Chains A and B, each alone.
Chain A
Amino acid sequence: MNKRKKLLILIAKKMLVFFVSIFALSIIAFSMSRIAPGDPLVSYYGDRAERMNTEEREHAIHRLGLDGTLTDQYVAWFKGAIKGDFGESFKYKENVLTVIAGRLVNTLLLGGIGFLLTFFLALLLGILCALHEGDWLDTLLCKVGTITSCIPEFWLSLVLILIFSVTFHLLPSSGAFGLGEADSILSRIRHMILPMVVIVLSHLWYYAYLIRNKLIDEKRKEYVLMSKSMGLTNRQVMWRHCVRNIMPAFISIMAISLNHVLEGTYIVEMVYSYPGIGTLSFESAKYHDYNMLMVLVIIMGVVVILGNIIGQIISENIDHRMKEEAIIEDAEVVASEKI
């Protein structure tokens, strides 16, 4: 009973943190987009906006809900948002959710799988390097890794298109699926390969190197020697103790950098004309498509904050010292011993 109660309180706490963060994020995004210079009417009316007379302009502003103070506008937006109505896209003249719906899945697939792939490959590469610390293999991987991580994403994308699409006709160079093949999983996978390679390659080494160095630090600890003196091999010590112990640090870094990988997809989406939300975000910021921008910012916020919360939960379960209550309990034990 007590345990259940504790769990409920814990969940409630995390939920509170989540909603407060999203609320704060929406206020910041709302005010910043409106402070930025530019004319949102251009996004909706195009060239016509410049030829409007004062009356027409006022009418248009009213129609788009851009009159009144910033607070009024925010309150109006917030009221709608709670009901699930995020407004109309200025550029596409449709409900923003309808515009985003299909594309969001594409990006989450590309970014999500790319993220997980980066995560696992980085882990494997890091462990491989740490096991062979100082060997020719480690040295080679470090050199190659540094070079690959220096290649700009857009350039790598273009080179890959040149090799695999233009020269050898092996893989498609743009889009998310072939014409009339929207339901074909194979076609979707084929379209995803090149963008995925770019995303993974451009982020992989950064994390692999981080893991390698963390593991090498961990290898120097005395408990590793202790385990070896009990007859464990290097590999066993690595998997059983070292990898486990660097996980909390690694997971929190991955969680924080979730947005880097998602940002990466934006550029890649543009080069590969991949119909994701990357292009949308860029355009919405450029053309002052406020409603679109708000939704996209909030979606990214939700992903990152959720990632952080999940990361924290995993880390706490690996290293119990990270639990807040544990630390306070421990401190109380120490304090009571002192007194």
Chain B
Amino acid sequence: MTNARDNLVIDIENLSVEIKTETEKINAIRNLSLSLRQGEILAIVGESGSGKTMVCRSIMELLPKSAKVTSGVIKAPKNEMAMVFQNPMTSLDPTMTIGKQLSYAIKSRNKIKDKTEIKNRAIELLKLVQIDRAEERYNQYPWQLSGGMRQRCVLAMALGLEPKVLLADEPTTALDVTVQASILGLISSLREKLGLSILFITHDLGVVAGIADRVAIMKAGSVVECDTTENVYHSPKHEYTKELMNSLPSNAGEFEVKSVENVETVLQVKDLSHYFKLGRKSYIRAANNVSFDIKHGEIFSIVGESGSGKSTLARCILNMYKPNSGEIIYDENVVLASDKVKMSREDKRKVSAEIRVISQDSDTALNPHMTVRQVIEEPLLLHHMFKTKAEMYAYMEELLDDVELPRTLMDQPVTMLSGGQRQRVSIARAFGSKPKLLIADEPLASLDVTMQMQIVKLFAHLIKEHDTSMLFIAHDLSMVRFLSTRVGVMYKGELVEVGTTEEIFNNPKHEYTKKLIAAMPIPDPDIEREKIRLFKERV
């Protein structure tokens, strides 16, 4: 027993943390015990609010002022730890060069005084995290680098502290799928090279399947299950772990996909281009000659990494941007957007009822000063859909039933609702005016895993019930695979491939699609480990 204890680098026993807000006390962590062994990668997986970040901050002694440790002991090597944060866009000082920030990191723990020695060490670290042209990057500012490159710099800074333990708090969440895969590979290889012990915090079961030795599942401030990765993924014991596993699209079974042959076309996008002007001579081609069509009753998904032009496309369809060239035709005769024709007022009215949008962030999509009733009735009143109030209210209650919200919430202010409930309200609002086409721009991105699955199932159900079509924009490939009839892949403003879900996922043709599908994290340790191994071989 004593031997096992010696092997632990971090040992947390019975930790409880309390957060004081103005009105109440919240138990962020409740009696949590956890240990990190020498040289292993331990993943803490949990949904937002489960307290995983608090664990990490308690270990680093970086708790906010309002939080207090009420009980428990944390044994951790304080001077041999380093931390990597979620968002590489904000975790670097924007006005300082990469080199200077790295030097600070190196100086803070080492006793190196010599300037050239520090610089050499910094460049060595940049090379260690696989940054090309390291000497050049040394003098660059964070904003001149891409997201993945910045996260590598953050890693380099952490390694500059010569740590034995690395705490990584969602280090890949803000990154694109393909970049995420390379960072995961890097973290795994660094562990081997430097003999690091790593605590990896994430909400995505797919991400850690390949690199973690052990997985701890957290819920409401305590660890409900902690076991080897194989055991957790293949034979989960706790109810909550099972629920998590079941809400993964790959475990949710097949969804019945409607055939879209020989049905009318709802939306047609022809050679659409939209450029953003930057300087006098420079443009960003956010959408470049994009053509596709959406058939009646189908769910057409567009996938792509951030900046690939997905949202620009959606905004062009919604007539928020005027395209530089090309046209969008709705219902075979209404021109929605074009560089030539302007939409008539009558068409605008018709279209605004028939094409509805569901946006990404349910927090900001609803006016916080309104009640659920006000939110849902607004479009109904605008389009004069009902003659009497009684009729309208009856219909609104049915809508709430449809989105599986209790009718009692009708007169609640939207600020009182949870994230998932708010997204349901926005869905109810969108379906209220009996739309023919729904445009959902990353509707799941701000939700937890279990919630995502519920919302996706709701979408599938409602689309069938209300006989509508949907343009589903997402970066999460597994959900897309589960839900969509056809998929379009966007890359740097161009639609590189369109096909049925089967074709895209089983037989991708374009190079980029192949890369994207390969990088998609799959919550199966065997598959993911093989991927990481292949990745390391390539580097």
Give residues in A with beta carbon < 8 Å to B: 134, 221-223, 225-232, 240-241, 244-245, 318-321, 327-328, 330-335, 337-339
Across the interface, A332 reaches (CB within 8 A) one of B91, B104, B108, B279, namely B279
Q: Is the CB of A245 within 8 A of B282?
A: no
Across the interface, A335 reaches (CB within 8 A) one of B85, B141, B278, B280, namely B278
For B104, list chain A residues within 8 Å (CB): 227, 230, 232, 240
For A339, list chain B residues within 8 Å (CB): 285, 492
Q: Name which residue of chain B comes closest to A321, CB basis.
A: B143
Determine the distance from Cα of A283 to Cα of B395 in the docked complex, in whole angstroms: 73
For B141, list chain A residues within 8 Å (CB): 320-321
Of B92-100, B327-335, B426-434, B481-489, the one contacting chain A is: B92-100
Q: A223-B90, A331-B282, A335-B283 are in contact. Are A134 and B65 (CB under 8 A)?
A: yes
Determine the distance from Cα of A185 to Cα of B141 in the docked complex, in whole angstroms: 48
Determine the distance from Cα of A331 to Cα of B285 in the docked complex, in whole angstroms: 12
Q: Is the CB of B91 within 8 A of A318?
A: no
For A334, list chain B residues within 8 Å (CB): 278, 284
Chain B window 352-391, contacts with chain A (Cβ cutoff 8 Å), 1 for yes, 0 for no: 0000000000000000000000000000000000000000
Q: Shortest CB–CB separation between residue A90 and chain B, in angstroms?
A: 49
Q: Shortest CB–CB separation between residue A153 and chain B, in angstroms?
A: 36
Q: Shortest CB–CB separation between residue B289 and chain A, in angstroms?
A: 13
Which residues 62-96 of B sit at the A interface, judged by CB distance below 8 A? Answer: 62, 65, 79, 81-83, 85-87, 90-96
Q: Name which residue of chain B comes closest to A331, CB basis.
A: B278
For B92, list chain A residues within 8 Å (CB): 223, 226
Q: Shortest CB–CB separation between residue A135 and chain B, in angstroms?
A: 10
**Is chain A's binding surface mostly helix, strand, loop or mixed?**
helix
Asked if B105 is at the interface (CB within 8 A of a chain A CB), the reply is yes
Q: Shortest CB–CB separation between residue B282 and chain A, in angstroms?
A: 5
Q: Shortest CB–CB separation between residue A281 and chain B, in angstroms?
A: 39
Q: Name which residue of chain A comes closest to B160, CB basis.
A: A230
Chain B window 167-199, contacts with chain A (Cβ cutoff 8 Å), 1 for yes, 0 for no: 000000000000000000000000000000000
Q: Is the CB of B95 within 8 A of A229?
A: no
The 3 closest A-B pairs by CB, nearest first: A331-B278, A328-B279, A229-B83
For A320, list chain B residues within 8 Å (CB): 95, 141
Give residues in B with beta carbon < 8 Å to A: 60, 62, 65, 79, 81-83, 85-87, 90-96, 104-105, 108-109, 141, 143-144, 154, 157, 161, 278-280, 282-285, 307, 492-493
Q: Is the CB of A335 within 8 A of B284?
A: yes
Determine the distance from Cα of A335 to Cα of B283 in the docked complex, in whole angstroms: 6
Q: A222-B86, A225-B85, A335-B278 are in contact. Are A230 and B157 (CB under 8 A)?
A: yes
Q: Name which residue of chain B comes closest to A231, CB basis.
A: B108
Q: Is the CB of A230 within 8 A of B82?
A: yes
For B154, list chain A residues within 8 Å (CB): 226
Q: Shortest CB–CB separation between residue A334 and chain B, in angstroms?
A: 6
| Of listed A222, A229, A320, residue having the most chain B CB within 10 A | A229
Determine the distance from Cα of A305 to Cα of B279 in the docked complex, in whole angstroms: 26
Q: Is the CB of B95 within 8 A of A226?
A: no
Known A229-B62, A320-B95; 7 more pairs at CB < 8 Å? A134-B65, A223-B94, A230-B105, A330-B143, A330-B144, A333-B144, A335-B278
Determine the distance from Cα of A335 to Cα of B82 in the docked complex, in whole angstroms: 36
Determine the distance from Cα of A238 to Cα of B517 in the docked complex, in whole angstroms: 44
For B157, list chain A residues within 8 Å (CB): 226, 230
Across the interface, A222 reaches (CB within 8 A) one of B90, B283, B307, namely B90
Q: Is the CB of A231 within 8 A of B109?
A: yes
Q: Shortest CB–CB separation between residue A45 and chain B, in angstroms?
A: 57
For A232, list chain B residues within 8 Å (CB): 104, 108
For A245, list chain B residues within 8 Å (CB): 93-95
Q: Name which residue of chain B comes closest to A317, CB basis.
A: B95
For B94, list chain A residues within 8 Å (CB): 223, 245, 319, 321
Across the interface, B83 reaches (CB within 8 A) one of A221, A226, A240, namely A226
Q: Shortest CB–CB separation between residue B286 and chain A, in angstroms?
A: 8
Q: Name which residue of chain A comes closest to B154, CB basis.
A: A226
For B144, list chain A residues within 8 Å (CB): 330, 333
Q: Name which residue of chain A comes closest to B142, CB basis.
A: A223
For B86, list chain A residues within 8 Å (CB): 222
For B60, list chain A residues within 8 Å (CB): 229
Q: Name which residue of chain B comes closest to A339, CB basis.
A: B285
For A331, list chain B residues within 8 Å (CB): 278-279, 282, 284
